[in-house]
Structures are given as C-alpha cells and as structure tokens.
C-alpha cells in the first residue's frame, strides 16, 4: 500500500532517529575537536571555551557510541537490512558506481536496477561502520586508557583518530551533498520515512520489484502514482 497513493514506505521511525543521532553526534564531535586539527578553527575554542568543548566532545562521544546499540535493540529491521545490503555488493552495484559520476554533472545515464541501497550507499555504509569502530576504539584508548595502555601505543591513537575523523567527514560531505542537492527525495526518505514511487522506481528499481513480489505494494498503484507525478 502506498502512502497518500504516492509514497513508498522506506524507513521506520526508530531507524531514522538513530540516523539523526549518529549524524548530529558525528558533526558535533567533529566541530568540538576541530581546533585541535587546524589552527584556523582556534576561534571556536576562544568563543565557547576549550574546557566546555572538550566536555561536549565526551558527551557526544557517548551518544555516538550508544546509537548503534539503541538501533540494534529498537530498529532491528532497519539495521538488519543495512548489514545484509552492505555485504551483498554485486556486479550491478559496480556498474552503477562506474556510471554514477556522470550524474554529478547533471547527466542521466541508463543504470542497472538498484536494490534498497545502491552501490555507492553500500560503500558508504561499510566505510562509516569501519570508521565508527576505529574512532570509538582509538577515542576510548585516549579517554580511559591512561595507566592501562602504554603511551607508546596511546600516542598512535592521535593520528589514527584524526585520519578516521577526516575520512568520515569527507564521506559525510559527499553524503549530505547527494542528499540535499542531488536527490532531495532521498532526504524525504530519512525524514518522513517514505519516498515517491517515481523516485523509488528510478533509484531503487530492484527493491520496488521485490516489494511488488512480496505484495507490499502493487504494480498498478506504482504505475498510477508515476503517471500522476
């Protein structure tokens, strides 16, 4: 059943909440530590005070760490799809990735049908999951590892934490750009939890086929919604 005869249900509430908790905590973690990465941003420390920001960094670190735990408990379906999809990278995903750069310049090459997540999203999921682990482990070693782990190892956590944060931010920038500028419909998927049928067929054709097969939506209503658009 489509929502309002137009929208395909995509994400559940708790899953979306976890996405935004992750997004906000990551962004705040990045901002509160930015002055340590680049002197250009020392003014952030000067405005809010280094101590305040360092405490906030720990506060958001806790949110950043517990978010996936909340997710695994309360948004099992969403996280299950996330993992299953991320580890099912196939040749269609590869073709998508190769042709994808053209879409950045406003072109519309013909693409193989994409599943719930497309090839780019799958890579982003894997990268962010890996970086989450690196950030959490290196961060905890710096935070609570003093006296437990030798400084010859702890010293390495500073560059490792920095690289992971930098890569994570770069991926986030691309993710935000694609969501807001390139595909505003995908942003709707993460705020209202549903996407327009026309967008769904274009960007996640294989997933829509699957939904029709399962009887979640019918081909008739999808076609009707696309015609009305």
Partner 1 sequence: MAREMAMLHDVARCSACRACMVACKQWHDLPADMSTPFKGQYQSHADLTPTTWNLIKMNERTDMGGKFHWDFIKFQCMHCEKPACMLGCPENAISKKESGAVVIDEDKCVGCGYCRTNCPFNVPRIDPERNKSTKCDLCFDRIEHGMIPSCAKTCTAEAISFGTKAAMIKLAEERLKEVRMNHPNAQLYGVHPNGVGGTHMMYVLPEPPEVYGLPKDPKTPESIDLWKDYIRPIGKIAGVGAAAGLAGLMVLNKLIGKRGA
Positions touching partner 1 (CB under 8 A) are 35-40, 42, 45, 50-51, 54, 104-108, 142, 146-147, 151-152, 154-159, 162-163, 166, 170, 173, 177, 181-182
Tokens describing residue 52 = 């305040």
Residue 183 main-chain phi, psi, to 5 deg: -130, 75
> In terms of Cα–Cα distance, which of 66, 189, 67 is closest to 118?
189
- Cβ 28 to partner 1, closest distance in Å? 17
Residue owning tokens 């949110």: 63
CA separation (Å) from 29 to 11, 21, 51, 126, 161?
25, 12, 14, 20, 12
Is the Cβ of residue 69 or residue 158 nearer to partner 1 in the bound state?
Answer: 158
Is the Cβ of residue 20 or residue 156 nearer to partner 1 in the bound state?
Answer: 156
CA separation (Å) from 204 to 7, 15, 63, 70, 113?
13, 19, 31, 27, 6
Residues 33, 52 contacting (CB under 8 angstroms): no
Is the Cβ of residue 88 or residue 182 nearer to partner 1 in the bound state?
Answer: 182
- Cβ 107 to partner 1, closest distance in Å? 7
Per DSSP, what are the bridge partners of residue 3? 7
- Cβ 154 to partner 1, closest distance in Å? 5
- Cβ 144 to partner 1, closest distance in Å? 12
Is the Cβ of residue 23 or residue 212 nearer to partner 1 in the bound state?
Answer: 23
Is the Cβ of residue 38 or residue 110 nearer to partner 1 in the bound state?
Answer: 38
- Cβ 155 to partner 1, closest distance in Å? 4
3-class SS shares of the chain: helix, strand, coil, % to 5: 80, 5, 20
Residue owning tokens 């906030």: 56
> In terms of Cα–Cα distance, which of 196, 177, 206, 178 is closest to 88?
206
Is the Cβ of residue 164 or residue 211 nearer to partner 1 in the bound state?
Answer: 164
- Cβ 27 to partner 1, closest distance in Å? 15
Separation between Cα atoms, residue 183 and residue 90, nearest integer Å: 23
């Amino acid at each position: 059943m489509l929502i309002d005869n137009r929208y395909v249900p995509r994400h559940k509430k708790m899953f979306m909440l976890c996405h935004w908790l992750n997004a906000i905590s990551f962004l705040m973690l990045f901002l509160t530590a930015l002055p340590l990465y680049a002197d250009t941003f020392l003014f952030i420390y000067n405005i809010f005070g280094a101590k305040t920001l360092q405490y906030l960094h720990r506060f958001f670190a806790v949110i950043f760490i517990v978010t996936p735990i909340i997710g695994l408990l309360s948004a099992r379906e969403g996280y299950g799809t996330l993992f299953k999809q991320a580890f099912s990278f196939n040749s269609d995903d590869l073709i998508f990735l190769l042709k994808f750069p053209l879409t950045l310049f406003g072109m519309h090459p013909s693409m193989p049908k994409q599943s719930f997540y497309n090839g780019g999203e799958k890579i982003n999921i894997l990268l962010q999951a890996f970086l989450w682990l690196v950030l959490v482990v290196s961060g905890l070693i710096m935070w609570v590892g003093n006296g437990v782990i030798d400084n010859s190892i702890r010293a390495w956590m500073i560059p490792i934490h920095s690289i992971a944060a930098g890569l994570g931010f770069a991926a986030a920038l691309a993710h935000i750009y694609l969501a807001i500028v390139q595909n505003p419909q995908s942003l709707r998927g993460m705020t209202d939890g549903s996407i327009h049928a026309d967008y769904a067929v274009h960007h996640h054709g294989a997933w829509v086929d699957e939904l029709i097969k399962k009887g979640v939506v019918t081909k008739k209503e999808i076609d009707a919604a696309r015609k009305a658009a």
